[in-house]
Amino acid sequence: MDRVCSDIPVKRVAITTLGCKINQFETAAMTESLAKAGFRLVPFADEADIYVINTCTVTARTDAESRRLIRRAGRRNPAARVVVTGCYAQVAPDTLRQVPGVHLVLGNAEKKGIAELLREVADPAGPRVLVSDIGRERTAEGLRLESFAEHTRAFLQVQNGCDAGCTYCIVPHARGPSRSVPAEDVLAGVAAFTTRGFREVVLTGIHLGAYGLDLTPATNLAGLLREIEERGLTQRLRLGSVEPLEIDGELVQVLAASRIVCPHLHIPLQSGSDRVLAQMNRSYTAAGFRARVEPLIAALPDLCLGMDVIAGFPGESDEDFAATVRLVESLPVAYLHVFPFSPRPGTLAANLAGRVPGAVVKERVQALRRLSDEKRLTFHRRFLGRELPVLPLQRQGDGPQQGLSRNYLTVRLEGEHLPDSREIPVRITAVAGDRVTGTILSP
């Protein structure tokens, strides 16, 4: 019988995830390794013998959510073992070991061995912490998965860590320096997902645009995309977030010529004020950002362009905020991810003067989210009456069948549904708010 300690039999493990696609990918890897080791996976809402919480620490709110999930697990089964891993565990292990109910804290490097650790960990006098210095990591492993919960789309981690040094960001402390998965491992991972029936592969990384710079010989993201396409390894390839200064002529050329890379990019803006960008250590100006984005839009007119924006950075004046709004309004942005500034201990921005009052931050966040809604509606309406290739997604419960276009429109599908997960032609017939409806056409 499987055991997590000397006297407690283990049959059921429940895992939940907070944060980015990297965390989602790593949760999938942990889930697969646990299943292979004989543990029985159950939903996090069910009673389990072990609860695993893969945490995020990008904001104070995500830290609080992690603690709430720990308490929820304890209420569900007071006898259960609670394991906390991920970025919050990496940067604040001593804080988490003091949270009632926590039995094991694993760093981001240690989570790869979770199945063996759950077998080996004895019942100590107090919580056990296994968190190594992530700053010493110099390589990234190509984690191999055989399945993915979404069934039609799979996420593949090709890069980890970050060297950027933005003053507001704790991620380099949680993920370590930038390091890339060797290209042959990436190619094998894409091919493996395709063989198992996945029709779209999403390449993810903490600093995806830095892919390959640390490899020997050095390469880059554009070269990786070319290699995947030339080998015919997948039908659809999607990129995660790419920094603005990494949108160079070579990458634009590859994206414009590609038959498989989806016209969808998420580019962190953070602010449209040069003064605030300098305080953030973002290494570009508003004009520089525009100069990178406009050739991209010209080359890919149907591009779905998403952006991150932070509201209420210390010292952000009304004019600074207005500059951000003007820049976003002037570009064909499809959506925004808006974050209120959250001071993270251990970052330079946490100690900056000029903290913006909470009520003002809230107003700015709401204004940016309203702008995002307007931009999203405008983007969606561009496709009314047009035919798009759409990938059907796994049906959620009794809800309507939905699909995803290459330029990131989630489409409610009407008409005769095809039995497999191949792309199907769909005509966009209606747009209402954030809902897009399309009719399936005969292939």
Fold of 387-440: OB fold (Dihydrolipoamide Acetyltransferase, E2P) (2.40.50)
Q: Kind of pairing, strands 50-55 and 424-432?
A: unpaired
List, in sequence order, the alpha helices (H) in 38-182.
Answer: 60-76, 87-91, 93-97, 114-120, 171-175
- pLDDT for position 4: 43
Q: What does the pLDDT read at residue 71?
A: 92
Q: Which residues are CB-neighbours of 425 under 8 A, at least 6 positions away?
A: 387, 388, 389, 390, 440, 441, 442, 443
Give which of 175, 153, 230 is closest to 394, Cα–Cα.
153
Find, among 192, 389, 223, 379, the residue nearest to 303 by Cα. Answer: 379
What φ, ψ does residue 252 adopt, rounded to 5°?
-60, -45
Output the six-digit token pair for 15.
């895992």
pLDDT tens for the chain, residues 1 to 443: 344 444 445 579 999 999 888 888 899 889 989 998 899 999 999 999 999 999 999 888 889 999 999 999 999 999 898 999 999 999 999 999 999 989 999 999 999 889 888 876 555 566 889 999 888 877 777 666 666 656 788 889 999 999 999 999 998 989 999 999 999 999 999 999 999 889 999 999 999 999 999 999 999 999 999 999 999 999 999 998 999 999 999 999 999 999 999 999 999 999 999 999 999 999 999 999 999 999 999 999 999 999 999 999 999 999 999 999 999 999 999 999 999 998 888 899 999 999 999 999 999 999 999 999 999 999 999 999 999 999 998 776 677 889 999 999 999 999 876 656 689 999 999 999 889 999 999 76
Strands 387-392 and 424-432: antiparallel
The answer to whether residues 303 and 263 touch, using CB atoms and an 8 Å cutoff, is yes
Q: Is 172 helix (H, G, I), strand (E, B) or coil?
A: helix
Pick the closest to residue 322 from 281, 364, 293, 291 (CA basis): 364
Q: Contact, 421 vs 403, CB < 8 A?
A: no
Q: Any idea which fold 3-132 has?
A: Rossmann fold (3.40.50)
- Total residues belonging to the chain: 443
What residue ranges do the domains of the chain occupy? 3-132, 153-379, 387-440
Cβ neighbours around 398 below 10 Å, total: 5
- Grouping H, G, I as helix, E, B as strand and the rest as coil, residue 238 is strand
pLDDT at 125: 60
Query: In which residue are the tokens 């939903």 written?
Result: 43
C-beta separation of 270 from 277 below 8 A: yes
CB under 8 Å to 14, separation ≥6 — which residues?
A: 41, 42, 43, 44, 45, 46, 48, 50, 51, 52, 73
The two tokens of residue 369 are 């989210």
Distances (CA, A) of 380 to 304, 377, 434: 10, 5, 8
DSSP 8-state symbol, 396: -
The CATH number assigned to the domain with range 153-379 reads: 3.80.30.20
* DSSP string over 372-387: HHHHHHHHHHTTTT-E
For the question of whether the overall pTM of this predicted structure is more than 0.85, the answer is yes
For 25, 104, 257, the CA distances from 30, given in Å and listed in that order, are 9, 15, 36
How far is it, in rounded angstroms, from Cα 423 to Cα 429? 18
The structure tokens listed for 354 are 């000029």
Q: Quick check: bond before 217 cis, omega within 30? A: yes
- 68's CB contacts (< 8 A; 6+ apart) are none
* C-alpha to C-alpha distance for 71 and 337, rounded to whole angstroms: 28
Angstrom distance (rounded) from CA 250 to CA 224: 12
Q: What is the pLDDT of residue 5?
A: 46
